[in-house]
Chain A
Amino acid sequence: MAQGSIALPQVQLLRPTQWLGQLVPGVLLLAAIGYLGKICEQSLSAYGKAHHLPLPNIEYVLWAILIGLAVSNTIGIPAVFQPGVATYEFWLKTGIVLLGSRFLLGDVLKLGGLSLMLVVLELAVAFSLMTLLGRWFGLKPKLTSLLAVGSAVCGVAAIIATKGAIDADDDDSSYAIAAILALGAIALFTFPLIGHWLHLGDRAFGLWAGLAVDNTAEATAAGALYSDAAGKVAVLAKTTRNAMIGFVVLGYALYWARKGQAREVEGKASFLWRKFPKFVLGFLLISALATAGIFNKAQIGSLGNLSRWAFLLTFAGVGLRTNFRELKLQGLRPFAVGAIGEAVIAVVTLGMVLVASKLFHL
């Protein structure tokens, strides 16, 4: 996940009250769109029941994303809302940390251990494949590195972290981010459909979404679209993937430094710590507190619901930040490399999850 602060650089110069004031309109927009999504889900369900109509249950997740997409791609997001909309990542991470209360530490270690094993395999497949595809399509080597990191680990945040470490061009990171965002949006809608078609269990689907969908927000949303239980597992698997970010970025930084095309890495341990997503530690801490019995059942229910409210804002942000016109401007070749790579990674990880489901009775 991204290591940057929520505030935009110019906002950091403002007084705390001004800074908060700048965030309020956008946060209210996220809350309004997310809540509208919740109302849409409940209204459609109530209408179907009242009129005995077999209407599909469209989750608030999908409504929030679709409404966000509609706003972003029609009227756009006025400047006054943009700082607040950019906080969607803060809500995502807050939601993930709070979700830790719903996991016993034993489950985290068991599922996380399995996820870690699969993540290592997924990383090996993703890096080899994207590097090969990048060569075949004649992409610049650093752009290929960024695409590989984006698809293998953690989407946009991994690209941003790697860009700084390997001294990549702004253009390359823009291409890679656009491709990964577009692919994340596609995966968000296609994965649940494929999962239902294959009759995947909640845990198996969650594991698959966490392993193969780029960006934590999209992986969380894809899991939540499938079911609550799948959403939980997707977050855990994706968090395990995120935890690898430091190692991957360090690997690429050393590779490009050895070629003389990036700065030398000083202090590998501190480099790893700087790149490590700290919210993972928060997730583990809350999980440990819940396991130790610090919270009673009602309190765990409250923390779970607070996590859902935080995700509600995140999903609205996922829709709002996806602008198809901007994605289209970035060109087709990086997108093609990403799309082919992602499709193969999705198939390979699906195979891995199916085998793991059989072996570990998921």
Chain B
Amino acid sequence: MSKKKSKALPQRKSFNLTTDGWAVTAALILALLVRLGLIHRVPW
């Protein structure tokens, strides 16, 4: 069995959202659009 160790990622200086950050941002934008009436009556 190989003994590969994970390498630490280099420090990212640029702004980079995690999946959680993207998901929360997207959900809040959608909620805002729904609240403003720009998205309404979403069908299912």
Contact = CB atoms under 8 A, between A and B. Distances in A.
> Are chains A and B native binding partners rather than an unrelated pairing?
yes
Interface of A: 1-6, 9, 12, 89-90, 92-94, 96-98, 101, 163-164, 167, 169-171, 277-279, 281-282, 285-286, 289, 294-295, 298-299, 301-303, 305-306, 308-309
Interface of B: 1-6, 9, 12, 16-24, 26-28, 30-31, 34-35, 39-44
A171 B4 contact: yes
Secondary structure type dominating chain B contacts: loop
Given A94-B26, A294-B35, A303-B42, 6 more contacts: A5-B16, A6-B22, A90-B23, A170-B5, A303-B30, A303-B31
A286 B27 contact: yes
Contacts of B5: 167, 169-170
Nearest to A290: B31
B4 A169 contact: yes
Contacts of B40: 298-299, 302
Given A171-B2, A282-B24, A302-B41, A289 B19 contact: no
A108 B8 CA distance: 37
A279 B17 CA distance: 12
Contacts, number: 106
Secondary structure type dominating chain A contacts: helix
A170 B2 CA distance: 9
* Max count, chain A CB within 10 A of own CB: residue among B18, B19, B22, B31: B19
Given A98-B27, A163-B6, A164-B6, A295 B42 contact: no
Listed from nearest, the 7 A-B pairs whose CB atoms lie closest are: A93-B23, A282-B24, A97-B27, A278-B20, A305-B42, A302-B42, A305-B44
A305 B43 contact: yes
A278 B24 contact: yes
29 contacts: A1-B20, A2-B19, A3-B19, A4-B19, A5-B16, A5-B17, A5-B18, A5-B19, A5-B22, A90-B19, A93-B24, A96-B23, A98-B27, A98-B31, A170-B5, A277-B20, A278-B21, A278-B24, A279-B20, A279-B23, A282-B20, A294-B35, A295-B34, A295-B35, A299-B34, A302-B34, A303-B31, A303-B34, A306-B39
